[in-house]
Amino acid sequence: MANDNKLQNIIAHCKEYGFIFQSSEIYDGLSAVYDYGQYGSELKKNIRDYWWKSMTQMQDNIVGIDAAIFMHPTVWKASGHVDNFSDPMIDNKDSKKRYRVDHLIEGYAETLPEADAKSLLQKMDELLAKDDFAGLKTLIEDNKIKCAVSGTANWTDVRQFNLMFSTEMGAVASDNPEENKVYLRPETAQGIFVNFLNVQKTGRMKIPFGIAQTGKAFRNEIVARGFIFRMREFEQMEMQFFVRPGTQKEWYEHWKEARMKWHLSLGISPERYRFHDHVKLAHYADAACDIEYDFPMGFKEVEGIHSRTDFDLKNHQQYSGKKLTYFDTELNQHYVPYVVETSIGLDRTVMMLLSEAYEEQDLSTDEKQDSRVVLKFPPLVAPIKLAILPLTKKDGMPEIARQLMDECKPYFKCFYEEKDSIGKRYRRQDAIGTPFCVTIDGQTKEDNTVTIRHRDDMTQERVTLSSVKDIVLKAMQV
Ligand code: GAP
C-alpha cells in the first residue's frame, strides 16, 4: 500500500469507526479542527492517562497542575509570543493563497533529485536562521516555484504572520479593542511558568523538580494539513523541569533519553524514531531537539525537548515586577532556575499510534476470499479492552456474559454485543483495536470456561471464566 493511500485509508477508517470526525461536519467542516468520537476519545484519554502517570505518579519530584486557557495578556508579551510567535509567509498574488515559506520550499524540494533537494533545503535553513526574508523570496523566484492553485510564480514579499488567536474578554465593548484583548494560549507551558512559585512554595518542592500539565492549545496555522498532525485547536502534554543554572545540559540529555524510553514502552520499534537537533533555535532555547516518528508522510516531529534557559521566568519577573527566584539551601543562594521542557502533542501521539496500529490484511484461502482491517493498539491504550460476546441469545448465555461484564467493567472498558455472526463481531472489534474477545457458548454453563480470542494472531484458547479479568489486566501492563 502506498503511504499516501495509507494516510487516506486511516482517515476514512477513523470516520467509519467513530474515532475522529471533521468538526461541524454537517456544515461542511471547519478546516484543521477535529472532533473525537466514541473510540477516538477513549484512545486519546488512555494516552493522556499513561503520559500523566509516567510523568507524575511514577516520578518523585514532578507534580501536575491544570492552568486556565486564558491568561493575562502580558504573559504573551513576556513569553515573546506577541513579537516572535510568527512564521514567514508568502502570498501568491493570483490565487491569493498564503503559504508558509518553509512548507512551500519543502514541497518543491520533494520533486527534485535528492542532492538538489538537500542543497536547496540547506540554503533555506541558512536564510531562515538569519531571518533573511528578501533572500527567501529570491530563492523561491530563482527556483521558479509555483503556486499549486494558480500555477503562477507571482509572489508577494515574505512577511511574518502571528499564529496566536485572540478574543475579547468582558461584556463591555471598548473603543480600544486592544484593552480587552486576550489570547487563546498557543502552548500550555506558560501556565506552568506563572505558577512556578505557587507550586514550589505550597508543595515545598526542592530543585530539581518538575510541573506537568495537559490541555488545549490554539494556533492559527496557515498551512494546516496531514489530518490531526497540524491542527488549529489541539492538545499538548508538557512538563517543565526546573534545575540549577549550569546543570541544564545534563538534564536535557536525561529527558531526551527518558522520553525516548517512554515512546519505546508503547511497543514501537526504535527504527521508527529518530532525534532531530534544531539548527535554528527558538527565541527561548539554548538547545532543542525533536523526537520524530516515521508517519505515513515520512519522519515528522511528535515531541520536542527544549532547554529553555531562564528565559521565561526572567521575563515574567521583569514584566510582572514579582520576584521569581528560588532559594537553594545547599548553595545558600537565590537564583532564577533554568528549565528543561518536554512537550508532546496528544493528537500527534494519537496519529502516531493509529499509523503504527493500522493494518490491512488479506486472509484469503483457496476456499474463500477474506480480509480484515485491524488496529494493533497496545492493550493499555486500546479504546475497548474486552468484547464480551454470547454465542447466541439463548440458554442463559447473555446472563453469564452480563455477569462477566459486571465483574470486569470497574477495571477496564468492556463492550457487550449479541447481534450478528461471531465472525462479523470479531471483525468489528479488530477494526476498533479490541485486544481480546470472549465468547460465551453452550459449554460455559457446564464447566465455567470461555473462548478468548487474541486480536493480533486471531488464535483462540479455552480459559476459565474467572481468569478473564486477570488476563486482560496483565496485558495492559507496559
Ligand atoms: N512549549 C513548547 C512548544 O509548544 P512546539 O514544538 O511548538 O513546542 C510541541 O509544540 C508539540 O506540540 C509538538 O511536538 C507537536 O506534537 C504539538 N503541536 C504543535 N503544533 C501543533 C499543531 N498545530 N497541531 C497538532 N499538534 C501540534
Same domain membership, residue 204 and residue 310 = yes
Query: Mean pLDDT, to the nearest integer, of 310-319?
Result: 97
Residue 322 falls inside a structural domain = yes
Count structural domains, the chain: 3
Buried b vs exposed e over 205-234: b needs ≥16 C-beta within 10 Å? Answer: bebbbbbbbbbebbbebbbeebbbbbbbbb
pLDDT at 260 over 50: yes
Ligand 1 center to residue 181 CA distance, Å?
Answer: 24
Query: Mean pLDDT, to the nearest integer, of 431-458?
Result: 97
Same domain membership, residue 119 and residue 8 = no
Same domain membership, residue 270 and residue 231 = yes
| CA–CA distance, 293 with 290 (Å, rounded to integer) | 9
The CATH number given to whatever domain includes residue 17 is 3.30.930.10
171-196 pLDDT, tens digit each:
766 667 677 899 999 999 999 999 99
Residue 362 falls inside a structural domain = no
Atom of ligand 1 nearest to the CA of 219: 23
Domain boundary among 334, 354, 374: 354
In Å, how far from its chain's centre is CA 300? 12
| Residue that wins the pLDDT comparison between 178 and 114 | 114
- What is the structure's pLDDT at 177? 66
Ligand 1 center to residue 70 CA distance, Å?
Answer: 18
Cell 480480509 -> residue? 371
Pocket lining: 294 vs ligand 1, CB cutoff 6 Å: no
Same domain membership, residue 423 and residue 349 = no
Q: What is the DSSP string of 353-417?
A: HHHHHEEEEE---SS---EEEEE---TTT-S-SEEEEESSSSTTHHHHHHHHHHHHTTTS-EEE-
Ligand 1 center to residue 237 CA distance, Å?
Answer: 9
Residue 133 falls inside a structural domain = yes
24-78 pLDDT, tens digit each:
999 999 999 999 999 999 999 999 999 999 999 999 999 999 999 999 999 999 9
Q: Look at ligand 1, atom 26, and give the residue with the nearest C-alpha.
A: 345
> How would residue 154 be classed by pLDDT, with cut points 50, 70 and 90?
very high
Query: Mean pLDDT, to the nearest integer, of 220-234?
Result: 89
Residue 377 falls inside a structural domain = no
- What is the structure's pLDDT at 129? 80
The CATH number given to whatever domain includes residue 115 is 3.30.40.230
Among 44, 343, 344, say which to mutate for ligand 1: greatest number of ligand atoms within 8 Å of CB: 343
Same domain membership, residue 194 and residue 45 = yes
Atom of ligand 1 nearest to the CA of 238: 1
Query: Mean pLDDT, to the nearest integer, of 264-293?
Result: 93
Phi then psi for residue 43, to 5 deg, are -60, -45
Among 81, 84, 100, 236, say which to mutate for ligand 1: greatest number of ligand atoms within 8 Å of CB: 236
CA dist 279 to 128, 229, 282, Å?
10, 22, 9
Contact 290, 274 (CB under 8 A): no
458-472 pLDDT, tens digit each:
999 999 999 999 999
Phi then psi for residue 62, to 5 deg, are -130, 130
Same domain membership, residue 463 and residue 393 = yes
Domain boundary among 336, 354, 372: 354
Question: Residue 148 corresponds to which cell in the numbers above?
Answer: 499549486
Question: Residue 300 corresponds to which cell in the numbers above?
Answer: 515528522
- What is the structure's pLDDT at 1? 47
Ligand 1 center to residue 54 CA distance, Å?
Answer: 20
Ligand 1 center to residue 236 CA distance, Å?
Answer: 7
pLDDT at 84 over 90: no
**Domain coverage including residue 415:** 384-475
- Provide the 3-class DSSP secondary structure of residue 73: helix
- Provide the 3-class DSSP secondary structure of residue 236: strand
| Residue that wins the pLDDT comparison between 421 and 178 | 421
- Provide the 3-class DSSP secondary structure of residue 432: helix
Atom of ligand 1 nearest to the CA of 349: 16
Residue 359 falls inside a structural domain = no
Query: Mean pLDDT, to the nearest integer, of 144-170?
Result: 94
Pocket lining: 301 vs ligand 1, CB cutoff 6 Å: yes
Ligand 1 center to residue 295 CA distance, Å?
Answer: 16
- DSSP E strands in 46-188: the ranges are 62-64, 86-91, 98-100, 159-162, 166-168, 181-183
Residue 367 falls inside a structural domain = no
Same domain membership, residue 237 and residue 319 = yes
- What is the structure's pLDDT at 178? 72
Residue 363 falls inside a structural domain = no
235-248 pLDDT, tens digit each:
999 999 999 999 99
Phi then psi for residue 179, to 5 deg, are -60, -40
Same domain membership, residue 104 and residue 144 = yes
Average model confidence (pLDDT) for the chain? 95
Pocket lining: 304 vs ligand 1, CB cutoff 6 Å: yes
Atom of ligand 1 nearest to the CA of 303: 14
Same domain membership, residue 56 and residue 196 = yes
Global confidence as pTM = 0.90
372-390 pLDDT, tens digit each:
999 999 999 999 999 999 9
Residue 375 falls inside a structural domain = no
In Å, how far from its chain's centre is CA 316? 28
Ligand 1 center to residue 345 CA distance, Å?
Answer: 5
In the chain, the largest separation of any two C-alpha atoms, in whole Å, equals 81
> How would residue 135 be classed by pLDDT, with cut points 50, 70 and 90?
very high
Helices (H), 203-282: 248-264
| CA–CA distance, 443 with 451 (Å, rounded to integer) | 10
Same domain membership, residue 443 and residue 423 = yes
Same domain membership, residue 201 and residue 63 = yes
The CA angle 455-459-465, to the nearest 5 degrees, is 85
Same domain membership, residue 112 and residue 71 = no
